[in-house]
Chains A and B, each alone.
Chain A
Amino acid sequence: MTGRAMSATVITPLGAQIRRDIALGWRGRGQALVMLGFFLIIITLFPLATGPDAAQLRPIAIPVIWIAAMLASLAGFTRIFADDVRCGWVDQVALSPLPLALYALAKAVVHWALTALPMLVATPLMGLMLYLEPAGMPALLLALALGTMALTLLGLIGAALTEGARGGNGLLAVLVLPLAVPVLIFGVLASTPADGGIVTPHLMLLGAVLLVLLALAPLVAAMALAEAEAETGA
């Protein structure tokens, strides 16, 4: 089979999978709203706890936004594959022309668009509340966009690995959060460029982490899903 024919046989199934995920995500948009609400509430708690003092809030604004994004994202990862495994859709994907790795990648892309993108949109408003300089916003948004993509890919691995494991939710947090430390470190540093330029070495390192995860996460998830099974009986 030539490369062109091969890609043609994969693109139709991939498009069908992405359209299905968007439809499912739209019908389950309550969950994305809960995650957005979680993100907003975590950030709002800080001015309430420290008092509305710009001198106190401004230095912690960026770390607070990053940690809120991480925790809110974490809340949504368990759902990435859960329904598809339970209802037997993954069995059908495994027997289709669509490789499981591309299926997992489609899941990650749609999950990011439906959950992280709303957080990014809300970030400027949250920054305002924490006395963040508007001039620093583009750097924060860019770093946060790359960072949430990397987090989603880590969540993809965690979600696939914990699929079928009882009490997978807690396991997922323990699995994903330590791996997310580099993303957090480079992300916060990339969000506060010292010399005013947006593209800093930290942003490039964050991008490198993202690219490594982009190559590895779908493959690891596919391996974990290869024998994932709906719980029968019981």
Chain B
Amino acid sequence: MVTGTRQNHENAPLAPTTGLVIDGVVLVRGMRVIQPALSHVIAPGRMSLLTGPNGSGKSTLLRAIAGRLRPIAGSISCAAPILYVGHADGLAASLSGRRNLGDWAGLNGLPVDAPGDAPGDAGMIDTALASFAAGPFADLPVRMLSRGQRRRLALARLALSPERALWLLDEPAAGLDRAAQADLDRLITAHLDRGGMVLAATHTPLGSGHDHDELALEAHP
């Protein structure tokens, strides 16, 4: 079990940022309109839960906010840097969880300090892994891990990149056991305390201790 020293900047308030404004967004899948007009605002320090029946466009909306698809009408504005944990975990099956997380940190230009630089000082990756108790299986190829274990590795990015103000989480709790759900809850609460924003497509209550808004999508068959 790796116990990491929590980085100081993880608890420091985020730089002031503007909220997320979704204005009259029209979402389509294929040639079909699935949401004719969506508007919603998330202010700094607030969380919104995105709910709705299957196929109502929850993942599509998150992808649109992440800039991975262009809505055919309406606007989405957010100046804050985005951290997106999508439906897919973003982990290469043949590499270890630690390697995947390290690659992600490198991709984002994060200063990855190697563990063991100073006695008792765990590296940044170890700290992030520890936040989801992912240390014990971090050196196995992702191929060998369960769905919940992969989810924990994907979510460990939340602890790795705390300066990204807007978290977009697509079914973050899917496959997580109780302990991991509590870990996620703790991270979200800390993020909101620091003035971060969360938009999560979920049916599980998250971030206890903070009230939240709800963005309920309706099915448009």
Contacts and interface: CB of A to CB of B under 8 A. Distances in A.
Classify chain A: how many residues form its interface, as a range.
20 to 34
Contact of A88 (B70, B87, B105): B87
Contacts of B103: 16-17, 19-20
Contact of B70 (A17, A95, A227): A227
B16 interface: no
A92 B59 CA distance: 15
Nearest to A85: B88
A27 B67 contact: no
B94 interface: yes
A121 to B, nearest CB: 25
B95 A23 contact: yes
B68 A91 contact: yes
Contacts of A17: 103, 106-107
B99 A229 contact: no
A12 B104 CA distance: 11
B108 interface: yes
Nearest to B69: A227
A96 B91 CA distance: 15
A47 to B, nearest CB: 38
B184 interface: no
A91 B90 contact: yes
Contacts of A23: 95, 99
B176 to A, nearest CB: 17
A95 B59 contact: no
A9 interface: yes
Contact of B106 (A13, A24, A28): A13
Contacts of A83: 92-93
Contacts of A94: 66-68
Question: Is the contact region of chain A dominated by helix, strand, or loop, or is it mixed?
Answer: helix
A37 interface: no
B109 A24 contact: no
Question: Is the contact region of chain B dominated by helix, strand, or loop, or is it mixed?
Answer: loop
Classify chain B: how many residues form its interface, as a range.
20 to 34
A229 B36 CA distance: 22
B94 A28 contact: yes
A50 interface: no
A5 B86 CA distance: 30
A16 B106 contact: yes
A231 B82 CA distance: 22
A229 B68 contact: yes
Contacts of B109: 9, 12-13, 96-97
A13 B94 contact: no
Contacts of B83: 95
Contacts of B132: none
Contacts of A87: 88-93
A232 interface: yes
Contacts of B99: 20, 23
A98 interface: yes
B212 interface: no
B6 interface: no
B90 A92 contact: yes
Interface in B66-90: 66-70, 82-84, 86-90
A58 interface: no
A175 interface: no
Given A12-B109, A92-B84, A229 B90 contact: no
Interface in A1-53: 9, 12-13, 15-17, 19-20, 23-24, 27-28
5 contacts: A88-B86, A88-B90, A89-B90, A94-B66, A227-B69
Which 6 pairs of residues, A with B, have the shortest CB-CB distance? A16-B106, A88-B88, A88-B90, A27-B94, A20-B103, A230-B88
Interface of B: 59, 63, 66-70, 82-84, 86-95, 99, 103-109
